[in-house]
Structures are given as C-alpha cells and as structure tokens.
Amino acid sequence: MFSTIDLHKVLVQVQDSTPVQTNTNSFKKSNQNYNQFDFDQLETNLIFHRDMIKKICIDYRLRFLDLSYFKADVPVEAIDKIQTLEKDHNTEVKHMKIVAPSKLFKLKNADDPLLFVPIGNDYYYLIHKWGNDLHPLRRLMMWPFKNIVTSILSILLLSLLLTAMMPLGLFSSQPNSSDFLLIFLFMFKSIAAIVIYYAFAAGKNFNRAIWDSSYYN
C-alpha cells in the first residue's frame, strides 16, 4: 500500500542548496577526526553535512553513532567499498559512523543503516547503505517523540479523537458542549499522565536529545 523510505534519497532531498566544499584545506581546519581523501575522486552526491544527517535522525528517530557501537554485522559490500576507498586514496579510513535505529546499537544505560566517514567541516561521506528501507509511516509514528511541542499536540489530538468517539449520552440525558469539554479535559489529563509515567519508567527522551547520544536514555 505504501512504498518504503530510502534514507539516502531522503538525505538527497534535504541537502542544502549551497554547493559542497571540495577544497581540502577548508575541510581540515574545523575537524581533527577527518580522513585525508583526494576530493576529486569523491562523488559529491555522497557528501552530506552533519545538519542534514541530524534532520533525518530527528524526523525518523534514528541514532548517528560511531561504528564501534554498532552490534549488527557490517555487510561484505560495505567492507569492499571501504577497502576500495583506502586503496584509491592511499589512506586508512577511520572514525566511521552509522545512522540506524537504536535497537541496532550497543548503547550505554543512563532496518536501514548508513555508513559514513568524516571528511572535515562537519561533512560526512556516505560509503554504503544496506538493509531494508524504513517503514513508510515511521516518520509519522515518530513525530510525537520529536520534541515536547509535538508530544503535547499529539496528546491533544488523541484526546479530541477519543472524546469525539465517546457517546456523551452515557453521562447526560441532554449532552451539550460543556459535557464535551469536561470529557475532553478528563481524556487529556488521563493520556498525559500515562505518557509521562511511561516516559519516566522507560527512560525515554525526545528525538532531538538522543540522535547522537551513545546512552540508552
């Protein structure tokens, strides 16, 4: 019914209109953990700024962490691309990072990976993408967890929907707008209490707070 989401295509769509810098010196200055590549050999459509990666991580509730935290297997195709990159650029690829759902990382306590390497100035080069694409409704399903505003709006909308479905005749023989408002407020407080309890009990946090955090919560 719905087509799956290809994260690489999403990244391309959100890419800034500003042309990617290809000057080696400008990339080195602001990032010590960079890889020395011959930029003339890199494909510019695979170079993405940290802000672009941050946006898709927040939208789809993904993590952007060092490869060392990744607990799943890295496919042979990705390893081959790394080795080819090292051979072509006569260097050792270091400081690799992965974009993936939290469940694919070994996180400290308190479906579609993308493998990147830093090239300086907060830009990253996409080496390989593998696995199944994201569920087409993932962005919508994760929208309530984006920040506190989206959470409150989601609770309000859900409360309004449940109140509209509630037969007001159960509470009053002649229901009016005041009855609707009272039931709506009751629904809102009840759902908000459940959400707050769940968030504290499970140690959940908003997408914006966890996208590059190596901690479970």
Which one is predicted more confidently, 173 or 62?
A: 62
Residue ranges covered by each domain of the chain: 7-129, 146-210
Residue ranges of E strands in 31-183: 47-49, 63-66, 97-100, 114-120, 123-129
Distance CA 127, CA 114 (A): 8
Which residue, among 132, 33, 35, 126, has the nearest Cα to 81 in the 3D structure?
A: 126
Q: What digits encode the pLDDT tens for the residues 180-211?
A: 888 889 899 998 888 887 776 665 777 777 77
pLDDT tens-digit profile of 76-128? 999 999 999 999 898 888 889 998 888 888 655 445 678 888 888 888 888 88
- Burial label, 35 (beta-carbon count in 10 A; 0-12, 13-18, 19+): buried
Positive or negative: CA dihedral 82, 86, 89, 93: positive
Closest CA to 118 of 99, 95, 88: 95
Please, which residues have CB within 8 angstroms of residue 122's CB and are 6 or more apart in sequence?
Answer: 30, 31, 49, 50, 51
Going by C-alpha positions, the residue among 62, 47, 152 that lies closest to residue 99 is 62
Higher pLDDT, 25 or 169: 169
The residue ranking higher by pLDDT, 78 or 175, is 78
pLDDT digits (tens, 9 = 90+) for 9-40: 888 887 765 555 555 555 554 555 778 888 88
Report pLDDT digits (tens) over 114-164.
888 888 888 888 888 877 667 777 778 888 888 888 889 999 999 999 888
**Containing H/E element for 119?**
strand 114-120
